Structure 1
Amino acid sequence: MVHPQEVDIIVCGYVGLCCVVAGRLAYADPNLQVMLVEGGNNNRDDPWVYRPGIYVRNMMRDGVNDKATFYTDTKASSYLRGRQSIVPCANILGGGSSINFQMYTRASASDWDDFKAEGWKAEDLLPLMKRLENYQKPCNNDKHGYDGPIAISNGGQITPLAWDFLRAADAVGVPQSDDIQDLTTAHGSEIWAKYINRHTGRRSDAATAYVHSVMDVQSNLFLRVNSRVSRVIFEGNTAVGVAFVHSRNRAHQGELRETIVRARKCVVLSSGTLGTPQILERSGVGNATLLKELNIDVVSDLPGVGEQYQDHYTTLTIYRASNETITTDDFLRGDKETQDRIFAQWENTPEKALLSSNAIDAGFKIRPTEEELKEMGPEFNELWDKYFKDKPDKPVMFGSIVSGAYADHSLLPPGKFFTMFQYLEYPASRGKIHIQSADPYIEPSFDSGFMNDKADFAPIRWSYKKTREVARRMDAYRGELTSHHPHFHPASPARARDIDIKTAKELLPNGLTVGIHMGTWSTASEAYDAKKVHEDIKYTEEDDKAIDDWVADHVETTWHSLGTCAMKPLKEGGVVDNRLNVYGTQNLKCVDLSICPDNLGTNTYSSALLVGEKGADILIEELGIKVRLPHAPVPHAPIPTGKPATQQPVR
């Protein structure tokens, strides 16, 4: 493809939603020239992308993986007991949607209402939520869409551990639901949906859905991959183009070689929470004091750029599973016979294969009870009263089960395992990111801010205890992998117990046998009685301290960065208005999750797609484009092995 030196719209990508904006605009008007500048490789028909069960490989930092960029705290954190946290960001077309865990969740209605911005309430956004979805699950509400480009299903297989988890969760007070992604449910468990097309077994990523499908039928969308946007080109305060460099090259004998492309109508920054503020600052948009120190001409003095970085935090614990449990452990540890069998299964029936799942088949959203709140400390209770108490649709924590050990299997003992993840959805902690040079190859100054607010320890501690009680009540439970649990005092009753078969049996009523029938747990002799289960583990203050130390040592990002270019009034540190215009500039918009003024309780892919859809609609309206009716959808059918996927144009 010959790339023009001038187009109508330039979208500066690095995250999945850039594909939404570019694809929607290009498809809306075939005469509109749109260029998408992407920092990573093209993901098209990459088997390490489209096979869902391979996602673990893409999370590794092993010198081979080029699908992620890693941001590391510039300084050691006292809140993490001297650690420097690492935040990986996708470095591939489609952003995180090409390599993420593929977990489908949605933000609560009040999350969007909390933006306090015209046009951004949940009721305003629901039609767009439905427009983007091709929902492939049974549903008893009207909150989902069925004709959109993004497939959502249960994947090719659901392991029995999922039903085991749901039954045990119900025993500790978390009831099962058919849909906890309905924008209002904040306490319940479900079979966890995935961004996987159940007809093909393939990952449903943003680039395939919005970019490749348009480029297959139109010639007005131009794609530049492996290209890192250096800066926006301004004439006065009007954005007229961008300069970019090759992602992997460095300065040539001290000279920075930039390619410049001009934009006739608009420049759109969709480079993510960590990428967009760097581009703005290198372009002269940001805190004037910093920019002058770096000899960058100031276009717009916006001190909020790069501030109020937010994320979601995760910890994980690993448990031993019975030998008959179906897990991914043999596959992940490299057992050749198992890998050959599973890869062959994918080649023959991908829509039913184990690889057409992420092995994260069940999970929950939870809020603490009044009794639990009493044990969570004054810092969190203050946050609860201010943030959660009057918003019953906000969960405090997520939890999920993985059918296997999410860990380096070369360091694990033999056996089968399952992993419990705990996710903090609304951290009080905040961080920041700022450039240290106008050179795009110089690493920024980054402070993730992880755990720098004490209120964040209590909910993670509580969630660890909750998921531990769920695990102990599961049929598959055979003990705790002590290396992946807090270091309790050896004499503490709360200490982790390895190969704990006796306790596992005692946690179920005598003589109880449990089976699965059409997704519902039933018993041979009597209904499950939660009252017969042993009491929960009791923790001392010393035990709680051990959990908090473990959290500081092990808490990680969930790759859910938000908030460094907030949509709020300028006087409150805002960077963009409700139309996504960057204050103090013309023809420049930010369309990514950096605009979030507050957190979103969700795996952020759904929210990123939604912001992309909203941003595309705003641009289409402002450009006066009359949107064409979509093509008839391509029939759903298995994709022949080794052949390019037939795409459904965006609708």
Structure 2
Amino acid sequence: MLDAFHFQHRSDVPHHFIYNKNHKNITLTVGHLVNQVLFEGKCAVGIESVQNPRVFPNANGKVTVACAKWLVVISAGAFGLPCILERSGIGANHQVIFSPYLASEESYTIDAIVRNEKPEFGKWGAQWLKDGSGLMSSNALDAGVKLRPTAEEFRAISPAFDKKWNKYYVNAPDKPVMWIGPVSMLVGDPSSTPSRKYFSVGYYVKHPSSLGYVHIKSGTDASVPPEFETGFLKQADDFALLKWGYKRSREIARRMACYRGEYVPNHPQFSESSSALCKGEIRPADIGAPDIEYTEEDEKAIEAYTRKFVATAWHSLGTCAMKPREKGGVVDSKLNVYGVEGLKVAESSPDLSVPPSNVSANTYSTTLAVAEKAALIIAEELGVKGV
């Protein structure tokens, strides 16, 4: 986030809750990895940490122990938290695709900045340093829309979505199914594409059914990368929705004034005879133009494209879910870890470990909300006033 008065400054949690408070009772130990939580019986009494070899190349593996008088709170993100819990003997994302399009030469995109073209980089860099405006003041993602399928689209998506729709969406009209948003650049490898202006349109399922997992590979070494499975496309309803997302985002893209065609290598490989194939540089379609029709062969091309290009959408979520233990939950409504005492989980930006499903909102803001609630819960239990 940008400081409204000093454009070069970033505003985040440490700057407003730690650095400017001058707390005398906080000790920060940087460059360390938490090996495990220490217990006496089932009660958490401290943590064990070691120097991170990536920060301290000459780290000798010496173990540091921090003891707790009342409570241990761990906050290590959606990947770090479950690994710490597993190393302590406890316990056993939405998916996105960006389709690139050719943009008109009069469009404003940040492709030249991404490619580090000196004239453009110098021009926009100077303007940013002068008054904080221009292309450098944008992250290229300035708009988006949350969608639910129309009745006609619902019928066309797939019978695979019926069960999820009836269980999750039909009685929740405010719950979006899909997010679609344009990005004023090529999302991909700029070194392998022609030098020109692009825009991309991303789309992802807001509440996917497919679930992955993260587990430790070592019970003693915190520096060993965990075993990670994305779970992408495991459920048929997610696959069906992503296919719909491509079609709907494509219809939006080809009606945009800046549209000049598609970067074909990063789109479904339709046959030369297919009416769904975009051929060459073309002008935008009229707003009222009919939607593109797809044959069975075209549908298979979209399926292959989806499998090839699906990726994670920034923030992992739900690895220490707050829900009943019998349903796979890790923490209760007071953030207590099931099965032990004196151990709570709190959030750390930018990832969310506690929500049991996608929040369909800005995850940074949601992280702050959960963390603030955690602070209130902890303060109340410890008898701290004025929080």
Q: Give the shorter-chain TM-score range.
A: over 0.9
Query: Whose relative contact order is higher, 1 or 2, with alpha carbons under 8 Å and at least 6 apart?
Result: 1
How far residue 250 of structure 1 moved from its aligned partner, in angstroms, is 10
Give the alignment of 1:563-582 within 5 angstroms. 563-582=318-337
- Equivalent residue for 2:273? 491
Alignment coverage as a number of residue pairs: 381
CA displacement at 1:455 relative to structure 2: 1.0
- After superposition, residues 188-267 of structure 1 pair within 5 angstroms as 195-201=1-7, 202-214=9-21, 217-248=22-53, 256-267=61-72
Aligned to 1:385: 166
1:406 aligns with 2:180: no
2:172 is equivalent to residue 374 of structure 1:
no
Q: Which residue of 1 aligns with 2:314?
A: 559
> What's the offset of the Cα at 1:546?
1.1
Q: CA deviation at 1:249?
A: 5.2
Map Cα deviations across residues 127-180 of structure 1 (whole Å, 9 max, x no partner).
xxxxxxxxxxxxxxxxxxxxxxxxxxxxxxxxxxxxxxxxxxxxxxxxxxxxxx
**Gap change, CA 1:580 and 1:382, over 3 Å in 2:** same
Match of 1:328 among 110, 114, 135: 110
Determine the structure 1 residue equivalent to 2:222: 440
Match of 2:130 among 328, 348, 361: 348
What is residue 420 of structure 1 aligned with on the other side?
201
The structural deviation recorded for 1:255 is: 7.3
**AA partner of residue 349 (structure 1):** D
After superposition, the Cα gap between the structure-2 partners of 1:249 and 1:314, relative to the gap in structure 1 and judged at 3 Å, is closer
Structure 1's 412 and 449: CA in aligned 2 closer, same or farther, altered over 3 A? Answer: same
DSSP-derived class of the 2:74 partner: strand
2:76 to 262, 268, 271: 271
Q: Distance between the aligned counterparts of 1:582 and 1:342, measured in 2?
A: 49
Aligned to 2:301: 546
* Cα shift readout 1:613-639 (whole Å, capped 9, x = no counterpart): 1111101111111116xxxxxxxxxxx
Contact residue 560 and residue 603 of structure 1 kept, 8 A: no
* 1:361 matched to 2:142: yes
TM-superposed CA distance for 1:253, in Å, is 11
Q: Tell me the residue number matched to 2:250.
A: 468
What is the one-letter code of the residue matched to 2:11? S
Instruction: Tell whether the 8 Å contact from 2:33 to 2:223 is kept in structure 1 after alignment.
Output: no
> Following TM superposition, by how much is the alpha carbon of 1:423 offset from its aligned partner in structure 2, in angstroms?
1.7
What is the letter of the counterpart of residue 331 of structure 2? Answer: V
Tell me, in whole angstroms, the C-alpha distance in 2 between the residues paired with 1:402 and 1:273: 26
SS at match of 2:68: strand
Structure 2 residue identity aligned to 1:320? L
In structure 1, C-alpha distance between the alignment counterparts of 2:178 and 2:128, rounded to whole Å: 34
* Map 1:526-545 → 2, pairs under 5 A: 530=287, 533-545=288-300
Aligned counterpart, 1:586: 341
- Residue by residue over 1:215-253, the C-alpha shift from the partner in whole angstroms, topping out at 9 and shown as x without a partner, is xx3333322222111111112222121111222259999
Q: CA 1:254–1:473 in 2, change beyond 3 Å: closer, same or farther? A: closer
Q: Secondary structure at the match of 2:144?
A: strand
Q: Secondary structure at the match of 1:229?
A: strand
8 Å contact from structure 2 (residues 94, 312) kept in 1: yes
1:404 counterpart SS class: coil
Contact kept? 1:250, 1:441, Cα under 8 Å: no
Counterpart amino acid of residue 232 in structure 2:
F
**What secondary structure does 1:241 align onto?**
strand
Residue 617 (structure 1) aligns with: 376
How many Å separate the matches in 2 of 1:451 and 1:460?
9
- Percent identity of paired positions between Structure 1 and Structure 2: 42
* Aligned twin of 2:365: 606
Q: Secondary structure at the match of 1:579?
A: coil
Distance 1:432 1:602 in 2: 22
SS at match of 1:221: coil
- Runs of at least 4 residues off by over 4 Å: 249-255
Q: 8 Å contact 1:230–1:279 — kept in the other structure?
A: yes
Gaps of 5+ in 2: none
**Displacement of 1:553 after TM fit?**
0.8
- Measure the CA separation in 1 of the matches of 2:24 and 2:278: 60
Note closer, same or farther for the CA distance 1:362–1:555 as it changes in structure 2 (3 Å cut): same
Kept in 2, the 8 Å contact 1:591–1:612? The answer is yes
Tell me the secondary structure at the aligned position of residue 222 of structure 1: coil
Instruction: Tell me how far apart the structure 2 counterparts of residues 252 and 538 of structure 1 sit (CA, whole Å).
Output: 58
* 1:560 to partner: Cα distance: 2.1
- Deviation digits for residues 477-536 of structure 1, max 9, x if unmatched? 1111111211111211111333123xx2xx24xxxxxxxxxxxxxxxxxxxxx4xx3211
Q: Distance in 2 between matches of 1:209 and 1:539?
A: 53
Which residue does the alignment assign to 1:479?
261
User: Cα RMSD (Å) of the superposition?
Assistant: 2.1
Alignment partners' CA distance in 2, 1:535 and 1:383: 29
One-letter amino acid of the counterpart of residue 205, structure 1: D
Q: Distance in 2 between matches of 1:211 and 1:321?
A: 44
TM-score normalised over the length of structure 1: 0.56
Q: Does the residue aligned with 1:342 lie in a helix, a strand or coil?
A: helix
d(CA) in 2 for partners of 1:605, 1:250: 26
State how far apart, in whole Å, the 2-side matches of 1:249 and 1:337 are: 36
Distance in 1, Cα, partners of 2:167 & 2:378? 36
